[in-house]
Amino acid sequence: MSKSWRPATQLVHGGTTRSHHGETSEAIFLTQGFVYETSEAAEARFKGETDGFIYARYGSPTNDMFEKRMCMLEGAEDARATASGMAAVSAAILCQLKAGDHIVAARALFGSCRWVVETLAPKYGIECTLIDGRDLSNWEKAVRKTTKVFFLESPTNPTLEVIDIAGVAKLANQIGAKVVVDNVFATPLFQKPLELGAHVVVYSATKHIDGQGRCLGGVVLSDKQWIDENLHDYFRHTGPAMSPFNAWTLLKGIETLPLRVKQQTENAAKIADFLAASSKVARVIYPGRKDHPQADIIARQMKGGSTLVCFELKGGKEAAFRLQNALEVVRISNNLGDAKSLITHPATTTHKNLTDEARAELGISAGTVRLSAGIEDAEDLIADFEQALSRVSA
C-alpha cells in the first residue's frame, strides 16, 4: 500500500487484504470469533504480542479494511468503525471524559450531537457550555480549569456556518484540551481537520461515504496514542462496533466517493447560483459562493464548496412547503449526502425540537430550506426548481 496514493486511488485499493481465494472485491466476514492453532498462540494474541483478531466486537477483517481505508483518506493513524454516526460521536466524546470535566461545544450541532453534550453528558456529571462557535473569543471565554474537550461541526447543519478549526485547535493546545470535529458536512475530501490541528475526527458514514441510502455507519479517527489511551477499551467493552455487512457496503460506497461528491458539489453550486437570482429567495448560503459571510475562512480551510445549499424563501413556511411539494426530481427527506437530491424544512423536521429562540440563534427561520444536491443532471435539477418556484407566490 502506498501512502503517496492520491485519494481516488486510495479509495479503491487502500486497506484491501485478500483471503486465500484472491477475490477481486473485498470479502465480507460476518463471522464472530477466531480460532488459534495452539494455547500459546491464544495467549500471545491476548497479550497483544501477535497481530490478529480476537472477537468481532473488538475488530474483524472487513471492518479492518474499512478502517484502514478511512485512515489513508483522512491521514489518521488509527480508527474505529461504529454502527452509526451517533455511536461514533458519543464514543469519541464520552470515552475521554469523566465526572467533573467540562466540554465547550459550538451550539450549531446536528440535533442528536447536541443532545449528547447538552442532555446526556450532564447526567454523568460532565458539564457543557454551548457557544456561538464562529467567534473564536467565545471559545476562550467559555474555558474553565476543567475543560477537556472542544466539540464542533463545520460547516454546520443546516445554515452552513463555518468555524475556524485551526483557531480552535490552537486554543485547545494552550489548555491541553482535545478538539473533536464532526466532519460530515465537509466530507473527508474537502476538509482535513487533523491537518488543521484537531485531535479527533468523526463521521456519519451513513451520509456521503455510503451516499446511496443503504446502511448506517460511523467512524472515529485519531492518532494511535489517543485511540489506545481513550477509545480502545471503551470501544471493546461498550460494543458500538459496525456490522461487517455495513463495512462491506461502505467499502463499495467509498470507491465512488470522489466521483459522487464532485458531481454533487457542482450541482449544488449551480443550484445555489440559480436560487440566488430568484426574486422569491431572500438569501442563499453556500460555502462555494463569494457572498458566504465567512468566505475567508472557507478559502483557508476547505478545498471545495459543499454538497449542501441552505436558502431562505421570502414567503416563509407556506412558500417552503409549496416549493417542496411541487418538486418532482428532488425528494423530501431529512437525509443528506445521497446520490438522490433531497430537501428538508429544518424548522418542522430536523430542528423542530429546539425552542424558537434557539432556532433564531442558528439562523433558522420559517422560510429556511436545506437542499442536499444529488448526482442527477444539473439541468434537470434546475428545471425542477424553476417549475416549483413558479408555484410559490412572491
Ligand X SMILES: *Cc1c(COP(=O)(O)O)cnc(C)c1O
- Residue closer to ligand X, measured from CB, 216 or 327: 216
Does residue 161 bind ligand X (CB under 6 A)?
A: no
Per DSSP, what are the bridge partners of residue 103?
A: 128, 149
Q: How far is the CB of 372 from ligand X (least distance, A)?
A: 10
Does residue 113 bind ligand X (CB under 6 A)?
A: yes
* CB neighbourhood size of 57 (10 A): 14
Does residue 163 bind ligand X (CB under 6 A)?
A: no
Binding residue for ligand X, selected from 154, 204, 243, 263, defined by CB under 6 A: 204
DSSP state at residue 33: B
Residue 175, all three cell numbers: 489548555
Binding residue for ligand X, selected from 26, 182, 210, 384, defined by CB under 6 A: 182
Q: Which H, E and C letters describe 97-145, residue by residue?
A: CCCCCEEEEECCCCHHHHHHHHHHHHHCCCEEEEECCCCHHHHHHHCCC
Convert residues 15-44 into a mask of x (bound to ligand X by CB under 6 A) and - (unbound): ------------------------------
Task: Report the alpha-carbon distance of residue 90 to residue 200 in Å, rounded.
Answer: 12
Binding residue for ligand X, selected from 218, 244, 258, 304, defined by CB under 6 A: 218
Q: How far is the CB of 206 from ligand X (least distance, A)?
A: 4
Task: Report the alpha-carbon distance of residue 239 to residue 13 in Å, rounded.
Answer: 28
Provide the Cα torsion 298, 94, 97, 222; round to 10°.
-50
Does residue 288 bind ligand X (CB under 6 A)?
A: no
Task: Report the alpha-carbon distance of residue 20 to residue 297 in Å, rounded.
Answer: 49
Scored b (16 or more CB within 10 A) or e, 265-304 reads: bbbbbbbbebbbebebbbebbbbbbeebebeebbeebbeb
Does residue 372 bind ligand X (CB under 6 A)?
A: no
Give residues with Cβ within 8 angstroms of 247, minimum separation 6. Answer: 28, 62, 63, 65, 66, 81, 217
Q: How far is the CB of 332 from ligand X (least distance, A)?
A: 17
**Options 33-41, 68-76, 137-145, 178-186: segment touching ligand X (CB under 6 A):** 178-186
Does residue 206 bind ligand X (CB under 6 A)?
A: yes
Does residue 116 bind ligand X (CB under 6 A)?
A: no
- Residue closer to ligand X, measured from CB, 150 or 185: 185
- Residue closer to ligand X, measured from CB, 110 or 139: 110
Distance of CA 193 to the CA centre of its chain: 12
Size of the site for ligand X (CB under 6 A): 17
- Residue closer to ligand X, measured from CB, 206 or 243: 206
Q: How far is the CB of 67 from ligand X (least distance, A)?
A: 16
- Residue closer to ligand X, measured from CB, 371 or 389: 371
- Residue closer to ligand X, measured from CB, 113 or 366: 113
Convert residues 57-96 into a mask of x (bound to ligand X by CB under 6 A) and - (unbound): ---------------------------xxx--x-------
Tell me the C-alpha to C-alpha distance, in Å, between residue 162 and each of 132, 165, 186, 245, 340: 11, 9, 10, 34, 25
Does residue 346 bind ligand X (CB under 6 A)?
A: no
Task: Report the alpha-carbon distance of residue 390 to residue 394 in Å, rounded.
Answer: 9
Binding residue for ligand X, selected from 153, 161, 312, 338, defined by CB under 6 A: 153
* CB neighbourhood size of 176 (10 A): 8
Does residue 157 bind ligand X (CB under 6 A)?
A: yes
Does residue 274 bind ligand X (CB under 6 A)?
A: no
Does residue 110 bind ligand X (CB under 6 A)?
A: yes
- Residue closer to ligand X, measured from CB, 157 or 278: 157
Coil, helix or strand for 76?
coil
**Options 57-65, 66-74, 182-190, 379-387: segment touching ligand X (CB under 6 A):** 182-190
Tell me the residue ranges of DSSP E strands in 286-389: 308-313, 331-332, 342-344, 368-372
Residue 138, all three cell numbers: 467565545
Task: Report the alpha-carbon distance of residue 260 to residue 198 in Å, rounded.
Answer: 26
Q: How far is the CB of 269 from ligand X (least distance, A)?
A: 20
Q: Which spans of this chain sit near ligand X (rule: CB under 6 A)?
A: 84-86, 89, 110, 112-113, 153, 157, 182, 184-185, 204, 206-207, 216, 218
